[in-house]
Amino acid sequence: MSVPRTGSETPRERRPTAPDGIVVVDKPAGWTSHDVVARMRRLAGTRKVGHAGTLDPMATGVLVVGIGRATRLLTYVVGADKDYTATIRLGVTTTTDDAEGEPVAHADARAVPRAEVDAGAAALTGEIAQVPSAVSAIKVDGQRAYARVRAGESVELAARPVTIARFEVLDVQVPDDAPATLDVDVAVTCSSGTYVRALARDLGAGLGVGGHLTALRRTRVGGYGLAEARTLDELGATPPDRPLDVLPLGDAARAIFPVRELTPGEAAALSYGKRIDATGPDVPGLVAGVAPDGTLVALLEPAGAHARPVLVFAPA
């Protein structure tokens, strides 16, 4: 995809390298997550840029981007739960379970009562076994499922456990452009690995009329939400002689992990990779060790009477 430039950026300008940190991007429709990373590399003045959790081109909203050493945090962001708002069109089934696919079946969904739509969403709430869309990025024998489908192969993916904490119907209406269908606006909170497209497909199948996703907006990933997000136009408007503003490592870690406030001595010991006494938050998983000045020193895990550094961000 040829990505247009935005803001004040020109081909000859190169910004000062951005500091290590997180940028929450409000991804526009029509862009792949890879497109966003390519733009962010130019805006951040470095190739060390990555993202946490792919969004389909038709989707918009929160895409967490790591710059510099913050890319090492992205593994933990990917596994966080997520919030979405979406629109599901009942009455039409597509090849991709969303509006980018070709219609393969039609049914008149106008007579489906709102109560049945609510009940169908409730049946897909909780811990469920979900079969991902055949055009997902899941690998089958080393190749992406969507690539196999585009090559004409028939792909069947195994169901896998996901948790849908919220699948709430917000509104139901008959759209003007397709009067035999129903558009269902929903809010979803789900675990990592959930496909909202598959929820749309399964809601329609359960109601006997089929369905597909027509709009998707991610509003939160873990501790990062739309309130912190900036559009690419806003980011591109940063003056070319100023580094991009980022969420510093220490603040970025606070959005993901419990925090242990370190003493200067503990921060120094961890910077050498040493263990420290096991005090601080009594949690079984990782804890962010933050120095008195707010610097992220290391991620820690319990090790008996000690806390052991798993990943050191502020080496001596």
Contact assessment for residue 259 and residue 253, using Cβ atoms and an 8 Å cutoff: yes
Q: What is the rounded CA–CA span in Å between residue 67 and residue 183?
A: 39
CB-count exposure of residue 158 (10 Å: 0-12, 13-18, 19+): exposed
HSE, side-chain direction, 13 A CA sphere, residue 160: 12
* Residue tagged active-site, from 20, 56, 83, 97: 56
Q: Which runs of E-coded beta strand occur in the chain?
A: 21-27, 49-52, 60-67, 82-90, 92-94, 103-106, 126-130, 139-140, 143-144, 160-173, 182-190, 211-221, 224-225, 247-248, 259-261, 276-277, 287-290, 296-303, 306-312
Annotation marks residue 56 as catalytic: yes
Q: Are 285 and 239 in contact (CB under 8 A)?
A: no
Do the Cβ atoms of 241 and 17 come closer than 8 Å?
A: no
Catalytic residues: 56
